[in-house]
Homo-oligomer: A and B are copies of this chain.
Amino acid sequence: MKITAVEAIPYTIPYAKPLRFASGEVYAAEHVLVRVHTDEGVVGIADAPPRPFTYGETQASVIAAVEGIFAPQVVGVRLVDRELIASRLARTVGNPVAKSAVDMAVWDALGRTLDLTVTDLLGGYTDRMRVSHMLGFDEPQAMVAEAERMRDTYGITTFKVKVGRTPYRRDTAVVRALREGLGEDVELYVDGNRGWSPAESARAMHEMADVGLLFAEELCPADDVLGRRWLVRQCDVPFIADESAVTPADVTREILGGSATAVSIKTARTGFTYSQRVHHLAEGLGVEVVMGNQIDSQLGSMCTVAFGAAFRLTSRRAGELSNFLDMSDDLLTEPLRIVDGHLAVRPGAGLGVEVDPDKLARYRTDR
Contact = CB atoms under 8 A, between A and B. Distances in A.
A283 interface: yes
A125 B81 contact: yes
Interface string A309-341: 011100000000000000000000000000000
A281 B284 CA distance: 6
Interface stretch (A66-74, A82-90, A167-175): A82-90
B124 A311 contact: no
A80 B312 contact: no
Interface residues of A, number: 36
A116 interface: yes
Contacts of A81: 120, 123-125
A115 to B, nearest CB: 9
B284 A276 contact: no
Nearest to A250: B284
Chain B CB count within 10 A is highest, among A86, A114, A123, A276, for A123
B280 A276 contact: yes
Interface in A263-288: 273, 276-281, 283-286
Interface in A233-278: 248-249, 251-252, 256, 273, 276-278
Contact of A125 (B84, B122, B278): B84
Given A116-B114, A276-B280, A82 B124 contact: yes
Contact of A249 (B86, B252, B286): B286
Contacts of A124: 78, 80-84
A124 B248 CA distance: 20
A252 B285 CA distance: 6
A13 interface: no
A121 interface: yes
Contacts of A249: 284, 286
Contacts of A284: 248-249, 251-252, 277-278, 280-281, 284
A68 B116 CA distance: 31
A138 to B, nearest CB: 38
A295 to B, nearest CB: 26
A126 interface: yes
B281 A121 contact: no
A121 B286 contact: no
A84 B120 CA distance: 11
Interface of A: 78, 80-84, 86-87, 114, 116, 120-126, 248-249, 251-252, 256, 273, 276-281, 283-286, 310-312
9 contacts: A78-B120, A82-B124, A83-B123, A83-B125, A248-B284, A251-B284, A277-B284, A280-B281, A281-B283
List 4 tightest A-B contacts by C-beta distance, closest first. A83-B123, A248-B284, A281-B284, A280-B280
Given A249-B286, A280-B284, A281-B285, 9 more contacts: A78-B124, A80-B121, A81-B120, A248-B284, A249-B284, A252-B286, A276-B280, A277-B284, A280-B280
